[in-house]
Amino acid sequence: MSVKPGITHKEIQKVMPEEVRPAVRLYLEGKIEQWYGRGDGKGVVFILHWKDAAEANALLEALPLAKAGLMTHELIPLGPLTPLRALIRPVAATTAKVAP
């Protein structure tokens, strides 16, 4: 979630006390697996467990900062790094030829 352009730190701080309890509740329910502050100070990154994008949007839009129109969000689906499968495939048997 990112702070919308033009929103001040003071505006965010007015709503933060209301934001914490529902966010912690989502964490305790297993909906938020991890959360991080953005390095640029403009919001947070949540790693969520969700069935589909509609559920994720509903979870995030129900948070007080989003309801107040102070934040926006972008959903980025995550999954396994599938190219790693190449590292665990069985190695093809090779026959070594010995020079006479």
In percent, how much of the chain has pLDDT > 70? 90
For range 14-35, the mean pLDDT = 95
Mean pLDDT of the chain: 89
Element (H, E) at 47: strand 44-48
- Alpha-carbon distance of 98 to 64, in angstroms, equals 72
pLDDT digit string, tens, across residues 47-81: 998 889 999 999 999 999 999 999 999 999 988 89
What does the pLDDT read at residue 55? 93
Per DSSP, the three-state class of 53 is: helix
- Tell me, what's the pLDDT at 94? 57
pTM: 0.74
| pLDDT for 98 beyond 90 | no
Beta strand pairing call for 44-48 and 71-72: unpaired
What backbone torsions phi and psi does residue 46 show, to the nearest 5 degrees? -105, 135
DSSP state of 89: S
Q: Which domains does the chain have, with CATH numbers?
A: 2-79 (3.30.70.1060)
